[in-house]
Structures are given as structure tokens and as C-alpha cells.
Chain A
Amino acid sequence: MTTALDKPPAHAAPARTGDARTLVDAVFRAREAAIGGALVLLVLGTWIANPAFLDSQGVKDLLLNASILVLLAVGQSVVVVTRNIDLSVGSVVGLTAFTCGDFVSGSSHGPVVTMLLGIAVGALCGLVSGALVSLGKVPALVVTLGMLYVLQGVDYALAEGGQINAVNLPEAVLSLGSGSVLGIPYLPLIAALVLAATAYYLRTYRSGRELYAIGSSPEAARLAGIPIRRRVLAAYVFSGAVAGLAGALWLARFGTVVAGAATGWELTVVSAVVVGGVAITGGTGSVWGAALGALLLTTISGALVVLKVDPFWEQAITGALLILAITADRVVQVRTTNALRKRSRR
């Protein structure tokens, strides 16, 4: 990997860059380790308080609940890394869940067709958002907020007040949501596959690294000859496609879908990404972190239920943890910067 990103900053003494880079690497690895650690502590603590939390049904529920959020977080972080945002994902999930449900209801289509349809519809939504953002050169937040409304409206208009019922869905589609292979349910398996593939791509491929370069400094990326428009467009198409897949899985998992399903999820997804250490200002973070963030948020709500914490407290606790996480991240960041500055001065 020899992208602009890996080059040492100009003011650092050449002999020390190896040092500095290891330190930065260590800190970011520590960042994900910290979320992972918090997750382990949370799971252990809850398990000690109530062993039912980790029986096979408990684990299954936890994984099933997390899968869709993990998928969305993976897609979102690819966009956020480029210093953009996709607020329309909640609407995309709702729309694809409904379209897929409508398409397969009363038919004999299988899960593969459902997922492919979801991916296609989602990618189309992402293409529109991405084209508006990258070709129109306009703020992503405004465009995707607009898309949120447009897609939500389309979803409601398609539904015409009706809903998708589980009884009309082919058995094969429903079994995608409830079935498992070797004891592992399909949903987390799919989420893990997408996660691993995305992580591998972002780390290994030149175009993946370029997404980080774009987020770190769009101007520098442009001067370095990176095709910014094409990369950002691709990031949105990917985010849309993954959200579409999530919509298809949503249908398989819940069976019954009303129009406007998953509305309001966009902010939960952004929360998961931010908790996972993907900076909202672009350029840093990994999909592993984002997935851990999603898992952490899901586990917190699961644990609160098992611990019989008043459900009214759930959201307040989630909010407080989110603030805590970004504060901790910031503190670590400031410390690293200071440490690096000290090293380069020596």
C-alpha cells in the first residue's frame, strides 16, 4: 500500500516515522479493542447477573437483532469515511422490505431472488443519492435528508395503506430469517460475510484506500489524481445496496412489514458508526469498529431487558454511552496528537 495516506507527515523526522506510525496504529487498534473490551465486559456482567442471557436462544436473539444494524453500519461507514453521510438508509430499508415483500408475496420465489431484488432496489436508491452528491457537488446531509423524505413517500404510496403479511410470503423466504446452518442463523452469517469482504476491500485495494484519502483531505485527494466523484458515487451505491440487502433480511426476519418500517433508523446507524470510532469528519475508522459499535448498541438494549432495567431508561442510557464514547475517542485523539508532536520535536 503506497497511497498518500501512508506517507509520513512532512514535519516528522524521517528516522522516527516508523515509531510514530506504530503508535498511531496501536492507538487505533486500541480504540477497537476498547469497544470490544466494553462489549465483553457488558456480556460477562449481564451473563453473571442472569445466565439466561447467554443460553443458545439468548445468543441467537442477540445475533439476529444485531445483523441488520451491523449491515447498515458497514454501508454507512464506507460513506462516512469519505466525509459524507447517508441519512436515507432507514427509508431504503423500509422501501426495499416492502418492495421485496410485495414481489414475493403469494409467489414461489426463493430467498436469493428476494435478496437480489433488495440489493438492486437499494443500489438504485444509492445511485440517485450518490449522483446528486458527487455530480451535483452539494452537501450530502441535505441531499440524503431529501432522499429520506422522497423514498419514505414512495414507500407509503406503494403500500397504499396495506401491509405485507407473513402468511403470504413463501416459506423459503421466511426460513432465511429463522433458519440456520451448523447452528449459526443465516442473518448474522450474511452480515459477517459482507463485513469481512468490505473490511478486506477497504484495507487491501487501492480504491478502498482512496476512500480514506478523500475523507482525510478532499483537496489533497483531488491533487493526487484520485477520481473523487466516481469513488463517492460508488460508496453511495454500496451503502444503498447493503441497505437494500438489509431490507430484504428485515422482510425475512419479521415477515410482517408496514410502510415506513425502519423509519428513524438512520440516526441509530450513524450512532453505531460513531460509537465504533468512525469519525464523522471522515478519513478514519474501520468497518470492524462500526460493526462492533452496532453490536454494542444492540447488546446494551438486550442486556437492559435481561437485567430487567426499566425499559424507559434504555434510550437515555444509550444516549449517555454514545456521548461517552465520542468523548473518550476525542480524548485519545488529542493525547495521540500531543504524543506525536513531542516525538517529532525530540
Chain B
Amino acid sequence: MSPLAKLLRWDSVVGALLVAVFLVGTGTTDGFADTANLSAALNDIAEVALIALPMTLLVVAGQVDLSVASMLGLSSALAGSLWDAGWAFELIVPVCLLVGALGGLLNGWLVTRVGLPSLAVTIGTLALFRGLASVVLGTKAVADFPESYAQWATYTQTVPGTFIPYPVALFAVLAVVAAVVLHGAGFGRSLFAIGAQEDAAYFAGIRVKRIKLALFVVSGTVASFAGIVYTLRYGSARADNGFGLELVVIASVLLGGIDFDGGKGTLGGAVAGVLLVGLLRNLLTLNDVSSEIQVVVTGVLLIASVLTPRLVAVLTERRHRRAATEPVP
């Protein structure tokens, strides 16, 4: 790939947009570049960012998990009701993670063993998990979590010496892990292979089913962990926590240039997409732009993210064709 083509790739464009938003924000808006504001802005998207990592791997492999936000809600409801029942928080966390892993296992089993499309399966489990969440906690809200736990998730408490809140720090660590998994080893190449041509990947000796199953389990587990973060961050466990968040996660990932048809994209792009949505929203909020317009901006960006590479491709092709037909002087 030529350097110019690489620069024009959508994930590089998103990276550039991210820098542009940051610079414009710093230049035009008082308080935007303050560490306190950046902490808050980053922490505001902590759950979306966390879930986006396994989602990136899934989409690269040609799959999707729409049940993540419902798993977040189920995990939150479970944490709330167990806390209500007097459990220690140190015990609640592993139980929630286990439930997340089991939920992911169910998705993965239906996709790999029964052979169903992941979009259909996870629409089903989206309803199922959200339903179970309301069975577990009803319309109650549990809010009496002690400060000593909540401080791990709020942005007022940061990793000592930095302005990075703990959930964001965790995201940074996991993002590095995910980047290594996707781009640094044979496993990542398997994901791209599965996403590009599943049958070919299978015949090339890649254990397609096992890998897909593992991805769904990881996705469920991370979503349930995000549920705990969400619960502590807002100090409130509710069954409808994170309602509709699945579309935000997918929008962020796709914005980062991950091709929904599978087989294409970079983790850096996905992370840039997540951060772009977060910073842009924060910047717009600081400038008193209504949340309605913020929603429109997200939508337009998303559409642009699929149209731009397509337009570039068409224009390049046209130029090549013209170059080919021009007479040699």
C-alpha cells in the first residue's frame, strides 16, 4: 500500500479528525483541555469503550453481538440484588463475570453449533438478557453502594500521578491487549481470515468455531464487567441500565473503519472512533449544543464513515482509468 493510500484510509482519517477535534476544542473552548474535563469526558464513555474492544474483534471476524447492552443491564441488576441481599462486593464481581461468560457462551453456542446468524441470535438474547435483568431486580433501583467501591469508577478518583480514572486506565490496558491479539499474532490473522472468507479460513486449518465461541464469551464477560463499572459510576443498579447502548458501541466501532462485512479494520481505528465520539460529545456539550444535535452528528459521522472510503475508491478508479486511456505524449 502506498503511503498516500495509507494516509487516506478511513481509520487514519478518524485519527486525524480526533486530533482536529482536540485542537479545535483546546483553542475555542475554555476548560476543554483541563485535565478534570478530559478525565470526565473519557470516563463518560468508559463502558462503551470497554465493550468496543471485543466488539471490534467480533466484527473483524464477521460477527456482531447486539446483546452487550442487555448483558450490561443484567450484570447491573444482578450486582444490585446481590448487594441488597447482603453479599460482599468482592464476591458479586466474579458472579457477574461468570454470568456474562455464560451469556456469551449461549450466544456463541447458538452461532457455532446451531449455525444461526449472529445478528438474529443476539437480537434474541438482547431481549432475553434484558428480560432476565428485570426479573432479577424489577423496577427497583439499588443505590446504597459505599463510597469505597464507587470511587473506583468515578472520575474524581484517578490513577495516582495522572488524570486517568481507573476504568479508562483499564481500557487502555485492555486496548493494548486487544491490539496485540488482533495485529501482533497469528490469532489476529485468523480473525481477519474468518471475516474475509469463513469457508476458506476453515479449509486453511483455522478452528473457526472455537475462535468464534471464544470471542462471544469474551464479549459477554467484558459487557458484564462494564455493567459493574456502570453501576458504580452512577451509584445505581437498575435493570434498564445502558438501554440502547449496543447501537452506540457498534456505531463507534464502525466509525473507526471496521468493515461490518468483516475482514477489514484496525484496532487503532476502533479506539479512535470511540474517543472521537466521546470527545466530540464533550466538546459539543461544553458549547451548549443540544443532545439532539449531538445524536445527529453521530449519525452523520457514521454514514460518512462508510461513504468516504467508497467515494475515494470510486474517484481513484476513475483517475486510473483516465490515466490509462490518455495517449502517451
Looking at A142, A150, A151, A267, which has the most chain B CB atoms within 10 Å of its CB?
Answer: A142
Q: When chains A and B are docked, how far (Å) is the Cα of A315 from the Cα of B133?
A: 10
Q: A136-B306, A146-B300, A147-B299 given as contacts; is B131 within 8 A of A313 (CB)?
A: yes
Are A150 and B121 touching (Cβ within 8 A)? no
Are B310 and A153 touching (Cβ within 8 A)? no
Q: Tell me how far the C-beta of A276 lies from the nearest C-beta in chain B, rounded to whole angstroms.
A: 12
| A148 contact from B117, B130, B247, B301, Cβ within 8 A | B247
**Interface size of B in residues (CB-CB distance below 8 Å):** 49
Q: Which residues from chain A contact B300 at a C-beta distance below 8 Å?
A: 146, 150
Are B119 and A147 touching (Cβ within 8 A)? no
| A146 contact from B125, B128, B290, B302, Cβ within 8 A | B302
Q: A149-B299, A264-B244 given as contacts; is B292 within 8 A of A138 (CB)?
A: no
Q: Which residues from chain B contact A319 at a C-beta distance below 8 Å?
A: 124-131
Are B123 and A316 touching (Cβ within 8 A)? no
Are A271 and B127 touching (Cβ within 8 A)? yes
Q: When chains A and B are docked, how far (Å) is the Cα of A85 from the Cα of B132?
A: 27
Q: Is A163 an interface residue (CB 8 A)?
A: no
Q: A145-B250, A326-B116 given as contacts; is B292 within 8 A of A153 (CB)?
A: yes
Q: Which residues from chain A contact B301 at a C-beta distance below 8 Å?
A: 146
Are A280 and B135 touching (Cβ within 8 A)? no
Q: Is A327 an interface residue (CB 8 A)?
A: yes
Give the residue name and chain of the A residue nearest to B303 (CB).
A146
Q: A132-B307, A146-B303, A312-B135 given as contacts; is B260 within 8 A of A141 (CB)?
A: yes
Are A323 and B128 touching (Cβ within 8 A)? yes
Q: Is B317 an interface residue (CB 8 A)?
A: no
| Interface residues of chain B: helix, strand, loop or mixed (majority) | helix
Q: When chains A and B are docked, how far (Å) is the Cα of A175 from the Cα of B207?
A: 60
| Interface residues of chain A: helix, strand, loop or mixed (majority) | helix
Interface residues of B in 228-255 (CB under 8 A from A): 243-244, 247, 250-251, 254
Give the residue name and chain of the B residue nearest to A334 (CB).
B115
Interface residues of B in 27-72 (CB under 8 A from A): 66
Are B124 and A148 touching (Cβ within 8 A)? no
Q: Which residues from chain A contact B302 at a C-beta distance below 8 Å?
A: 142, 145-146, 149
Are B254 and A142 touching (Cβ within 8 A)? yes
Are A150 and B296 touching (Cβ within 8 A)? yes
Q: Is A152 an interface residue (CB 8 A)?
A: yes
Q: When chains A and B are docked, how far (Å) is the Cα of A153 from the Cα of B131?
A: 28
Q: When chains A and B are docked, how far (Å) is the Cα of A69 from the Cα of B296?
A: 26
Q: When chains A and B are docked, how far (Å) is the Cα of A146 from the Cα of B295?
A: 9
Are B303 and A150 touching (Cβ within 8 A)? yes
Residues of B within 8 A of A (CB): 66, 110, 114-117, 119-121, 123-132, 134-135, 138, 243-244, 247, 250-251, 254, 259-261, 290-303, 305-307, 310
Residues of A within 8 A of B (CB): 85, 87, 132, 136-139, 141-143, 145-154, 156-157, 263-264, 267, 270-271, 274, 280-281, 310, 312-320, 322-323, 326-327, 330-331, 334
A-B contact pairs, 9 of them (CB 8 A): A141-B260, A142-B305, A149-B296, A152-B292, A154-B296, A264-B244, A271-B124, A312-B135, A319-B128
